[in-house]
Amino acid sequence: MMKRVIIATLIGVLGIGLASATHKFQNSSQAFHQELLDRRLGIEDMDTETTVNVFVKALRSTETPGGIAIVPSCGETVRANFDLSKPTLQGALESIVASNPQYRWEVQGGAVNLLPYGGTHPFLETPITRYEVKGAETLDQALNTLLALPEVQKRENDLNLGGRLVRGRLGYFDPNDDVRKESKKFSVKAKKASLREVLNAIAQAHGSGVWVYSEYRCGSNAYELEFLAQ
């Protein structure tokens, strides 16, 4: 009887300790996420801009890693006025979804994502068993290693995505902006993660990478996935 009481007591103590550790971890994670969202913007109100441009510029100006999955569209690119009177990253994100309710935003780990409101693209949820890149010199190198994985190539075929378009790093921000040269090497390791989670991990390991994903199913199928460097 005494042994049962001791065992029950130990289980209770361990449970309290685990709950306390979990609570501290959640608080730490929430604090870190809020630190990202409170970063000050280096841009002002933008008239008749695209959602993609505003999001990418907001991340770049705050040196925050992340990515955007563009809502599919066969029509003309929609432009809108964005109120950036709240000069923080969170203020910019709230303005984006208010101006374009087709999107939602979330923080995953240490990366900020802008995603379609109704759910993200199936390709971005591709399960990755294991991914590793050591001493990558560029974001493109890390991305190409990821896209070369057999499960990624199979998923691309299964979803009938067509070929990948590579247009370079123009069109998502002011072409007059200077893009800093990538000079530091970085490494990434991930297991049992989604493609989006690995993309976010790459962006974080680099420090300020931003990925952009879009699909085209108007006529011939194709998709774009590329990184923009800070």
Distance CA 17, CA 221 (A): 53
CA distances from 96 to 93, 115, 175 (A): 5, 11, 21
5 found inside a domain: no
pLDDT (tens digit per residue) in 208-223: 899 999 998 787 888 9
Mean pLDDT in residue range 55-74: 91
- Are residues 124 and 213 in contact, defined by beta-carbon separation less than 8 angstroms? yes
**Containing structural domain, residue 116:** 46-228
Contact assessment for residue 99 and residue 23, using Cβ atoms and an 8 Å cutoff: no
Whole-structure pTM value: 0.81
Within-domain flag for 35: no
Question: Is 33 part of any domain?
Answer: no
Contact assessment for residue 128 and residue 155, using Cβ atoms and an 8 Å cutoff: no
Is residue 10 domain-resident? no
Whole-number Å distance between alpha carbons of 163 and 157: 9
- Residue 37 forms part of a structural domain: no
109: region left, alpha or beta (phi > 0 left; psi from -120 to 50 alpha)? left
- Determine, yes or no, domain membership for 120: yes
Provide the pLDDT for residue 45: 62
pLDDT digit string (tens) for 121-165?
A: 999 999 999 999 999 999 999 999 999 999 999 999 999 998 898
Residue 177: inside a domain: yes
Number of domains within the chain: 1
Q: Is residue 135 part of a domain?
A: yes
- What confidence tens digit (pLDDT) does each residue in 196-205 have? 999 999 999 9
- Tens digit of each residue's pLDDT (9 = 90 or more) over 98-133: 989 999 999 998 999 999 998 889 999 999 999 999
